[in-house]
Amino acid sequence: MPPQNAKRWLIAPPLTDAAQAELNAHSPIVAQLLFNRGYATAEAARAYLAGELAQSDDPFQLQGLPETVARLRRAIAAQESVVIYGDYDTDGVTATALLVQVLTTLGARVRAYIPHREDEGYGLNHEALRALREEGVGLVLTVDCGIRSLEEAETARSIGLDLIITDHHTPGEALPDAQAVINPKRADDAYPEKNLAGVGLAFKLAQGLLRGQPSPLTASDVLDLVALGTVSDLVPLTGENRWLVRQGLKVINKPRREGLKSLIEVARLRPGAIDAGNLGFALGPRLNAAGRLDSALAAYELLTTSDLFRASTLAMQLEAQNRERQALTRETQARAREIALAARPDALLLFAADPDFRHGVVGLAAARLTDEFYRPAVVARREPDFTRGSARSIREFHITQALDECRALLVKYGGHAAAAGFTTPTGAVDELAERLRAIAERELGGLDLRPALRVDAEVPLAALTFDLARELRQFEPCGYGNPTPILATRGARVADVRPVGAEGQHLKLTVTDGRLSFDAIAFNQGAWRDRLPRQVDLAYTFEINEWNGEKRLQLNVRDIAPGNG
């Protein structure tokens, strides 16, 4: 019997005759992959594989950017005290570090302010703005936050504090009354790339500041920060974002920052072989751990220090915090699972609130429950007056629209289709849970709730060569919006299988077609260990695995299904 929640494979339709004619310079597999991603002409395919920008990236197209550059240059000339007000996630921290570095190089009196997750919560707050003004700060510039901070903008104006907002999140019906508001999602903004991360927007401002100015620093020097924040924030790796990450990876693979060197070392990565996956699953989580458990200033200092010893100390601190974060997430997931199933074991939405949950990991725990059960999940910390929670969802259920229906029970909320956060009076938590479960029952009842796996092409094992693996690398950087190519092979014979990992949670396989054999690794699929059939269908990413100087082809298995043999 296969493990619970077996996936539905969605095989991409074959490319059209017209696309086949346009893409005939490429191998059939690569042509299919290009077609699947919407590149159906020879020129579009060429530009994509070359990583070229298809549209203008002039930063001065951004509404509010010219005024912001002018205001910052006045602040530099007058030696006015400037604060970059960031967020505690990797996107916010890298954006903060980027602008502080650039402005410092240009001669500004500038420092960072990053709110504490537990004590202050997300975004601008009135107390922080008043305190900064009392300290003599004349200009606050936000990164990765502020677009919905209308009341806080009024506070800044009332105390004589100039405020500039740069934020990539979706604006509300009204914009804050600030000196400038830079957001490509503004209705009146002409910038062609609408999906920049917070750090991507900070980079556009840096480009504007550096243009025409004598400086030992170039915009390219901070692309390592742009790549880290962009990948970690899960914005689509298409268009300009893909170009920024592609260029940033070149900087990361020849690291110059002492903090980045130390972080790469503790993550056991090898400079020269770091890809977008390493940013998203190794470096980004370690930077995020600081803000999840304590203050994000440790991550900020790591990215900005030039002291080798201090960088090493901070990297080891983040490594320890990341391990603590992992353990805390597992504990929270287990407790949330217990609470949710005890309340309604048959519910199509999982809901768990508890006073012992930590704000920094409720979103991670909700995401893991969604992955485990393929159901929307809500995990919240219950406090005496208010309960703050995070929600994660599946393709079939728009979680923020569900919260829209519950707005009367909420103090504030926001998000998008797959993720959201909210605050509700604690006395309304049970009613909110019941309302959300009812909405999920209405929307999801009767659907086939198995996760879907999108497969680019079915191929025989004989098609898997070093040449193909090298061709697939042209699709990088891969991630959200530009998925790693997934191939499928039917009827592969299992020649060998053994569990690996501390608890045998992974499988190491050897599969064959009778003539060729390949290594395969199946992470988190140890449940198949004692019931793996002799013939299997495999969905996988195809890669070159390098170990001790030896390069071998490997299948990184995403799903296993019984074969027909």
CATH code at 516? 2.40.50.460
pLDDT of residue 227: 98
In a domain? residue 329 = no
The total of structural domains in the chain comes to 3
Q: What does the angle CA 246 – CA 251 – CA 256 come to, to the nearest 5 degrees?
A: 165
Cβ–Cβ under 8 Å, residues 259 and 267: no
Which of 164-201 are b and which e, b meaning 16 or more Cβ less than 10 Å from the residue's Cβ? bbbbbbebeeebbebbbbbbbebeebebebebbbbbbb
To the nearest whole percent, how much of the chain has pLDDT over 70?
99
Q: Are residues 396 and 472 in the same domain?
A: no
**Helix and strand totals (H; E) in the chain:** 19, 18
pLDDT of residue 563: 87
Mean pLDDT in residue range 292-300: 89
Cβ–Cβ under 8 Å, residues 546 and 460: no
Q: What span, in angstroms and rounded, lies between the C-alpha atoms of 408 and 291? A: 31
Q: What span, in angstroms and rounded, lies between the C-alpha atoms of 507 and 500? A: 6
Q: What span, in angstroms and rounded, lies between the C-alpha atoms of 510 and 492? A: 10
Give yes or no for a cis peptide into 460 (omega within 30° of 0): no
Confidence of residue 546 (pLDDT cuts 50, 70, 90): confident
Cβ–Cβ under 8 Å, residues 37 and 59: no
Mean pLDDT in residue range 319-341: 95
To the nearest whole percent, how much of the chain has pLDDT over 90?
84
Mean pLDDT in residue range 31-59: 94
Closest CA to 447 of 359, 375, 393: 375
Cβ–Cβ under 8 Å, residues 522 and 499: no
Q: What does the angle CA 370 – CA 375 – CA 377 come to, to the nearest 5 degrees?
A: 60
Closest CA to 537 of 6, 5, 14: 6
Q: Which of 404, 423, 444 is the last residue of a domain?
A: 444
pLDDT of residue 1: 33
Measured from the Cβ of residue 313, the count of other Cβ atoms closer than 10 Å reads 16
Mean pLDDT in residue range 400-423: 88
- Both tokens of 143, joined, read 């990164």
Q: Which of 384, 412, 444 is the last residue of a domain?
A: 444
Q: Are residues 530 and 397 in the same domain?
A: no
Q: Is the pLDDT of residue 395 over 90?
A: no
Mean pLDDT in residue range 416-438: 93
Mean pLDDT over each residue of the chain, to the nearest integer? 94
Q: Are residues 494 and 385 in the same domain?
A: no
Residue 501, SS3?
coil
**Phi (first) and psi of residue 550, to 5 degrees:** -100, 135
In a domain? residue 398 = yes
Confidence of residue 120 (pLDDT cuts 50, 70, 90): confident
pTM of the model as a whole: 0.90
Mean pLDDT in residue range 520-524: 94
* Tokens 């001065």 found at: 60
Q: Are residues 493 and 357 in the same domain?
A: no
Q: Are residues 115 and 166 in the same domain?
A: yes
Q: Are residues 67 and 210 in the same domain?
A: yes
pLDDT of residue 170: 84
Q: Is the pLDDT of residue 66 over 90?
A: yes
In a domain? residue 28 = no
Q: Which domain holds residue 95?
A: 59-215
